[in-house]
Copies of this chain bind each other. A is one copy, B any other.
Amino acid sequence: MKTEYSLLEIQSNIEGSELQNCNNPENVIIDCVVTLDDDKQNSISFVRSRAFVEQGKNSKATIVIVNKQLAKEFERPVLVVKNVEESLIPVLSLFHSPKSPNGTISEKSSIHETATIGENSQIGDFVIVGENSCIGKNCIIEGNVSIGKNVSIGDDSRVGPGNVIHDDVTIGDRFVSFGNCTIGADGFRFVFTPKGHMKIPQIGKVILGNDIEIGAQCTIDKGGLGDTVLGDGCKFDNMVHIAHNCILKNNIVIAAQSGIAGSSVIGNNVMISGHCAIQDHIELADGTIIAGKTGVRKSITKAGIYVGEHAQTLTKFNMLRKNISHLVRFDKWIKRIEKVEEKLSISKDEEK
């Protein structure tokens, strides 16, 4: 991987981009991507939104990425793109390549004789791969990972250090996880009997689609009878919990420390912010957006933004919050009502 590029090389990596106010871009060298306030020379930075225009004008970066709408405000050298956030992907990828597998199986790992490891995959130190498990091609299984029995992991996947993958888990291609995740633990199902809580055996599986990425310390439990199923392209932040028998469709995004209780069904493209709790046995419509720290206690059948301890639409929630200011001086309103009643000689007989 090269560590420096000409400005022209960088521009040619971004589809539909154009340089503005730049001379000889083939001779301008860029060797790092920086934030707008950075001092580094030979650097490229970016203006995320209008709020950063002034900072962008004054930035010491050699070149600044801006979108078409904002480009005309700049007299300094800028790289004009359709979507700034998206353009960061090819730019950053020039300077930072994802790890690629080295095709070696550590002598300090423990691979069961019935397990199979795909071509060019890399197995780290102190990794366990259990009976009948199968790792795809071009994978990296990082150190100290424990993989149980009958586990299947698709091609081009990367399992983070310290992950535990219990038995009977199927994972698609291009899976990514970070440290200490746990997939395939038993669902939380007990029956209360006079002898205490008796466990209902959990015989389901976990089935994950392609292109799933989960942050550090996520948990995805196996199904009780049927399976826990995640569609393609789901992305989780850290410490996300998915309970037994949940069905998550495609491209769902869940931020840190949120959890979904058992048997709930989450529609395509749903976005769940951090610290949310989704109740068991409910459904969220495609495209639903759940604001941070929300509690969802019943199904949401219509896409929209939902918020609050008992999730409600943002509109209702804002009406409520507007009126909270009145509530806070409601004892004064009570006195006013009482005075009126007094003046009108209304008896309080029926009131308690």
Enumerate chain A interface residues (CB-CB to B < 8 A). Answer: 33-35, 38, 83, 85-86, 88-89, 92-93, 95-96, 98, 106, 108, 110, 124-126, 128, 142-146, 148, 160-164, 166, 178-182, 185-186, 188, 190-193, 196-201, 203, 211, 213, 215-217, 219, 221, 225-226, 232-233, 235, 237-239, 241, 243, 250-251, 253, 255-257, 259, 261, 274-275, 277, 279, 292-293, 295, 297, 308-310, 316, 319-324, 326-334, 336-337, 339-341, 343-344, 346, 351-352
Contacts and interface: CB of A to CB of B under 8 A. Distances in A.
A317 B95 CA distance: 49
Given A182-B178, A200-B89, A225-B35, A243 B217 contact: no
Contacts of A330: 323, 326-327
B162 A180 contact: yes
A239 B255 CA distance: 15
Contacts of A192: 251
B327 A333 contact: no
Contacts of A124: 128, 146
Contacts of A163: 162
Contacts of A145: 144
B225 A219 contact: no
B257 A241 contact: yes
Contacts of A297: 292
